[in-house]
Amino acid sequence: MIAIHKTKVNDVQKIFKTEIEQQRLAAISKLTALDTTTTSKKDKDYLKSIINLFINNNDFLLWDSKKLHNEKDLVGNVPMVPKTVKGVRKMVKSKIKDKILVALDYKRLRNTFYPKYFKEIGIKACVYCNSQLTISAIKNSKKEYSAKFDVDHYHSKDDYPFLSISLFNLYPACASCNRLKSTNPIELELYSDNAFKTKNSSYKFKLNSNAKAKYLTTKDSNEIEFSFVEPSYVPGVKKFNEVFHIEGVYQTQVDLIEELIIKSQIYNSSYLKTLEDNFKKLNLHPALFKRTLIGNYTEDKDIHKRPMSKLVMDIAKELELIK
């Protein structure tokens, strides 16, 4: 729901420079080995162009969003091959796609590298819904569960498997949003060099008219209605609420809003001043006071650090619990 400054991401990439280069070299080795076992001319030509991309560009895994967008079609989509399904002949993607994904080792990286990489950047919550963590429990063939880091590919790995481990193509997401997003085009620039976009989210939760008054009169949380406000519609791009059902997800969390309304009634200005004065005696950072007060982060730039932070901070500001 908000962009992260590219400078911050670049700084983190420098920390992992050696590991990222090892990923590129390992990819070249495995893709080259795959080339020796590939017989289809279409597949070999496609594979060769990918191998050259990795060899000729030392910084390929670090290409930013703009360069990925401009360069991705130089290689193009996965070759199409004929296949007969239930007596109907149709064109489907070549199996080389899945072999490339295996060669690039994406599944292992989501378990080993991406958790520590995105932790260093500061992303823990889904960048789409902000309601859940980006970790999900996965059951393996032995029916054992393990925690896996979920990332969505802005440019689908189904169409562009060679971008499956390109770092600026990875958007940390919860399993639900990752599934719902699929190949749907959405309008979110997660990595930006625009300082305004990294400090101010263009998405907002807002109480509906008289929602607070209705709740205080009835004490019925069902009276708490809110809206999710999105940026202006972009033709050809689906809105967040349409793809991720944001309002439906957050309707299950109205108790958070209920608690904020109650706090807004209890914590008058004089009481807040007393709390703040007492907090100062602990010699802690002033920003921690507001976070402790509402139980979550209070600035748009920190949205990615904890689930539900966007909803809580927006409503808390509207109720004038924080500024």
Instruction: List C-alpha distances in Å: 306 to 73, 114, 231, 310.
Output: 36, 17, 22, 9
pTM to 2 decimal places: 0.88
Phi-psi category of residue 156: left, alpha or beta, with phi > 0 → left and psi -120 to 50 → alpha? beta
pLDDT for the residue 275: 86
Burial environment of residue 281 by CB neighbours within 10 A (0 to 12, 13 to 18, 19 or more): exposed
The C-alpha atoms of residue 154 and residue 175 are separated, in whole angstroms, by 15
Q: Is 133 helix (H, G, I), strand (E, B) or coil?
A: strand
151 or 85, greater pLDDT: 151
pLDDT for the residue 88: 83
Are 307 and 198 spatial neighbours (Cβ–Cβ below 8 Å)? Answer: no
| 91 bridge partner residues | 82
Instruction: List C-alpha distances in Å: 101 to 42, 107, 159, 160.
Output: 17, 8, 11, 10
For 319, list phi and psi in degrees, rounded to 5: -85, 0
Residue-wise pLDDT for 203-254, tens only, equals 999 999 999 999 999 999 999 999 999 987 777 788 889 999 999 999 999 9
The C-alpha atoms of residue 257 and residue 217 are separated, in whole angstroms, by 15
Q: Is it the case that residue 160 has pLDDT exceeding 80?
A: yes
Q: Which two tokens stand for residue 195?
A: 């300082």
Q: Which two tokens stand for residue 149?
A: 């880091």
pLDDT for the residue 141: 59
Per-residue buried b or exposed e for 181-217, using 16+ beta carbons within 10 Å of the residue's own CB: beeeebebebbbeeeebbeebbbbbebeeebbebbee
pLDDT for the residue 286: 81
Q: Give 14-23's long-range contacts (Cβ < 8 A, gap of 24+).
A: 15/120, 16/113, 16/117, 16/120, 19/113, 20/61, 20/62, 20/167, 21/58, 23/61, 23/105, 23/109, 23/113, 23/165
Q: Is it the case that residue 139 has pLDDT exceeding 90?
A: no
What confidence tier does 111 reach under pLDDT thresholds 50, 70, 90?
confident
Percent of the chain with pLDDT over 90: 64
What confidence tier does 185 reach under pLDDT thresholds 50, 70, 90?
confident
Percent of the chain with pLDDT over 70: 97
301 or 273, greater pLDDT: 301
Longest dimension (CA), the chain: 77
Average pLDDT for residues 16-43, to the nearest whole number? 94
End-to-end CA distance of the chain: 20
Are 322 and 313 spatial neighbours (Cβ–Cβ below 8 Å)? Answer: yes
Instruction: List C-alpha distances in Å: 116 to 15, 57, 59, 107, 230.
Output: 11, 25, 20, 15, 31
For 193, list phi and psi in degrees, rounded to 5: -105, 10
pLDDT for the residue 147: 67
DSSP state of 151: E
Residue-wise pLDDT for 64-76, tens only, equals 999 998 888 888 7
Average pLDDT for residues 78-86, to the nearest whole number? 85
Q: Is it the case that residue 273 has pLDDT exceeding 70?
A: yes
Q: Is it the case that residue 255 has pLDDT exceeding 90?
A: yes
What confidence tier does 142 reach under pLDDT thresholds 50, 70, 90?
low
What ranges do the domains of the chain cover?
4-81+91-191, 201-318
